[in-house]
Structure 1
């Protein structure tokens, strides 16, 4: 493997692709497995026989250029591929890999700044969902690798630049893993609970960034609790968290199932409806976690609840500055024995107190040690 852990030789590609095949067959849904057929399912291999030296030499002669070593080794390991990722279903072989300008000439005359690159790019993907994998023969590294791009109809232009074909494959594999985890089909579920527990400890210590990293890692392993708690952290740091509530929580039944519909209604739905008050948002909430209505928040510890009531009275009396002082003094003492509670979300949802919580104050709350972490 290279220093980045990417395959470079044909043998390394065989090992890497065998692992990718195993991952795919472990989590693929019935429809995708049926399309592959019984023989493929029995073999557990998404590739083909590797290209021999004669075939590799012939394609290089046809193209008029030596292929980058990593991509050449890929073809040597498997001349073509099925199901490279969520949006790329087959890869071209030595028989049909070619220049984009020859295979898809309309793509090279779109009238934008990418035309020059597109006109010289090598097209290595075949069947895909409105996207193309491209290698740039004029952007070559010291070790001979060509830069790689993914052009997709949903991008404003070319996607991210990758240093090599292997890096592009690795990025697609990471996307495949994350999309499956979001749907509750984790590739490596072991260790998710430990990551959630570690993230909670870090959250209570005020390490919001570290906690978010642990929760996201647990989410990639399929943990609904991890994904939920990652959104809770984001609620204090991201003014646009309503997008994540909609997409990462309400959009994934395994997340709601893991934490309970009542918790979602009490803690996150108010934030969503504040930013997206339209009827469609209420319908989404009703369809996924039930009618929003007036849902009581989850109970806070008595001393914290008493401080919040004092702050409400001060706010109603017009003394917002003193009200915030009371709240700020109470935050370090907030605690909960509930393993899915890591911060006082009440402060973001309470109709009286939430106007006191500016973006800076919200970030302060989640980065201040609380309760057991104090």
Structure 2
């Protein structure tokens, strides 16, 4: 699904046909192009031109592919875009060696698509790259034009899914359920990947669980993921509910930002101004209140709540290791009736546990099977 802004260059005829391509170039036109360029084009790109001489919106940041009439080699004046494919064997004092590079798309959001005629596979395919103003040098290397297109298609699907406008939403709920089962078995990384698949299919719940589970796996980067993956996504907040976001995501974000920037910093000013909640209010309207008051409390199972209370008392007295031992012993007893909870996020948000839950311990929390005791009781 694309917005009108993204499809500004799509003609009425393309809209009516549901086809973003054009009439294909015949063999005579392709041969004339190759004669002008002085080389035979790689197979996948040659086939593309035969099917469609140009294309609209081939990627999330590319608006238009060049046609046979506009294709040409990269100008030497733009050689800095080719910096990452210089011959690494050259001495620093010598001139870098470059093969001709074909510029196949350059009408986009500060992005170009390039084919390297000096990097050719056994089957005649040329290596492909993108260059974008927001990244240094060239993108990762793709083995062919076809690989580049496939990667850009996947990128488009990820972006649209995380915006809540999935290209292919089928199966999202099943993936969330599958990821939840994996997470509770302690298969944290596998579950995170499953939740990400659900997020790409537009699931707000999947996106939320991917971020929160990922926080345990990479605590240092947690606030960035919360900001971009939850607070900036109204469909995620709507799917999970504002109360849970305020109880888990917001204090996690604030706590990690405060730890990164040190005491005394006005962390409410660090919130991206464009962030919007599902109710249409800027996050900044309620973040100061959230920072100054205790977040909502989500219910925990009695056994785990008792362990939390004991561990909190120990942690506040300076007995961090003892507090962790209590928490670790109680982890198998943790469970939640909410489908949007797969781990005790309170361990990451409660300031009392700041010295208790180190990065290795955070990972151990989500790699420990949870809900085992409750499951055995139900089976009995």
Is TM more than 0.5 here? yes
Provide Cα deviations, 1:63-101, integer angstroms capped at 9, x if missing partner.
Answer: 010111111110000011111111111111111111012
Q: What's the CA shift for 1:161?
A: 0.3
Provide Cα deviations, 1:88-129, integer angstroms capped at 9, x if missing partner.
Answer: 11111111111012xxx4212579554657662011113111
* 2:230 paired residue number: 249
* 2:364 paired residue number: 364
1:290 corresponds, among 281, 286, 293, to 286
More moved, 154-163 vs 120-129: 120-129
Q: What's the CA shift for 1:354?
A: 3.1
2:65 corresponds, among 91, 98, 110, to 91
* 1:346 paired residue number: 346
1:152 corresponds, among 106, 128, 132, to 132
> 2:82 & 2:140 partners in 1: Cα distance?
20
- The equivalences for 1:1-374 within 5 A come to 27-33=1-7, 35-101=9-75, 105-108=76-79, 112=83, 114=85, 120-238=100-218, 239-277=220-258, 278-281=267-270, 287-288=282-283, 290-291=286-287, 292=290, 293-372=293-372
Q: What's the CA shift for 1:235?
A: 1.1
Runs (4 or more) in structure 1 with deviation over 6 Å come to none
Is 2:304–2:333's contact at 8 Å kept on the other side of the alignment?
yes
Is 1:100–1:119's contact at 8 Å kept on the other side of the alignment?
no
> 1:135 & 1:279 partners in 2: Cα distance?
45
Question: TM-score normalised to the size of structure 1?
Answer: 0.87
Q: Kindly tell me the number of residue pairs found equivalent between the two proteins.
A: 345
CA change 1:254–1:109 in 2 (3 A) is closer
| Structure (1 or 2) with the greater helix fraction | 1
Provide Cα deviations, 1:154-196, integer angstroms capped at 9, x if missing partner.
Answer: 1110111000001011111111111111111101111101100
Is 1:205–1:370's contact at 8 Å kept on the other side of the alignment?
yes
Unaligned runs of 5+ in 1: 1-26
> 2:309 & 2:251 partners in 1: Cα distance?
20
> 2:196 & 2:216 partners in 1: Cα distance?
16
> 2:84 & 2:337 partners in 1: Cα distance?
56
> 1:111 & 1:134 partners in 2: Cα distance?
9
**Does the residue aligned with 1:149 lie in a helix, a strand or coil?**
strand
Provide Cα deviations, 1:329-349, integer angstroms capped at 9, x if missing partner.
Answer: 111111111111101111111
Root-mean-square deviation (Å): 2.0
Provide Cα deviations, 1:352-373, integer angstroms capped at 9, x if missing partner.
Answer: 1232011111111100000057
Question: TM-score normalised to the size of structure 2?
Answer: 0.86
Unaligned runs of 5+ in 2: 87-95, 259-266, 276-280
CA change 1:138–1:331 in 2 (3 A) is same
